[in-house]
Chains A and B, each alone.
Chain A
Amino acid sequence: DTEVTQTPKHLVMGMTNKKSLKCEQHMGHRAMYWYKQKAKKPPELMFVYSYEKLSINESVPSRFSPECPNSSLLNLHLHALQPEDSALYLCASSQWLAGSSSYNEQFFGPGTRLTVL
């Protein structure tokens, strides 16, 4: 099983709503990532978890709150978002933290298309 799943596939929310994005992998990977991607741009790293501990927070606004309940799950809690936060949110996982070794491919989920009204 080389699959990373994400729910929901699409999400429309108002600026006062609270919602959560979910990500799951069953490959035994110990590193998980959240990216934000705008059209025609590369994925932009938001958070990295390694062994369920937050390893990187790329100066992401506090209206985005990550959570790693266990080694297979990664959540991204959203609150009071702005219209400019509308994007494709991608979850990814890799066996180890990037750079730990070669042949450490990062697998991406299909993404959640988020629209903030």
Chain B
Amino acid sequence: DQQVKQNSPSLSVQEGRISILNCDYTNSMFDYFLWYKKYPAEGPTFLISISSIKDKNEDGRFTVFLNKSAKHLSLHIVPSQPGDSAVYFCAASEVTGNQFYFGTGTSLTVIP
């Protein structure tokens, strides 16, 4: 049972525009959320995280928004750059849990 879902397998965005990647979850016990970026044949790289006590966290070009009532989070990348082209995974953990649950990933292509 997939507790974290990314319903868009791919996304194409023009360079300089905003990229919005979405993630939905079903487990109301999740309280910590992370976004990872992955290039082919490499391990995922941690990008940004957010705790359930916040609804927004910003780090440079990356902002994560959390809507707990909708069980939805999104990653905004602005402005998008060609080097951002990669697969993005969202992940979540619950306060009493012992593992991270990953979404299925969204492949982002930024067109120069």
Contact = CB atoms under 8 A, between A and B. Distances in A.
Interface string A87-117: 0101010000111001111111111010000
Interface of A: 4, 6, 33, 40-43, 45, 48, 50, 55-56, 88, 90, 92, 97-99, 102-111, 113
Chain B, interface size: which category?
20 to 34
B42 A111 contact: yes
A84 B102 CA distance: 22
Nearest to B40: A39
B49 interface: yes
B104 interface: yes
Given A4-B43, A99-B32, A105 B97 contact: no
Interface in B31-48: 31-32, 34, 36, 41-46
B98 A42 contact: no
Contacts of B49: 102-103, 105
Interface of B: 31-32, 34, 36, 41-46, 49, 51, 89, 91, 93-100, 102-105
Nearest to B43: A108
Interface pairs A-B: 8 shortest CB-CB: A108-B43, A99-B97, A42-B102, A102-B51, A98-B93, A99-B93, A102-B32, A108-B44
Contacts of A103: 32, 49, 51
Contacts of A111: 41-43
Contacts, number: 69
29 contacts: A4-B43, A33-B99, A42-B105, A43-B44, A45-B99, A48-B98, A48-B99, A55-B98, A56-B98, A97-B98, A98-B93, A99-B93, A99-B98, A102-B32, A102-B49, A102-B51, A103-B32, A103-B49, A103-B51, A104-B32, A105-B46, A106-B46, A106-B91, A106-B100, A108-B43, A108-B44, A108-B46, A110-B42, A110-B43
B36 to A, nearest CB: 8
A26 B91 CA distance: 24
A45 B99 CA distance: 8
B9 to A, nearest CB: 8
B97 A40 contact: no
A92 B102 CA distance: 13
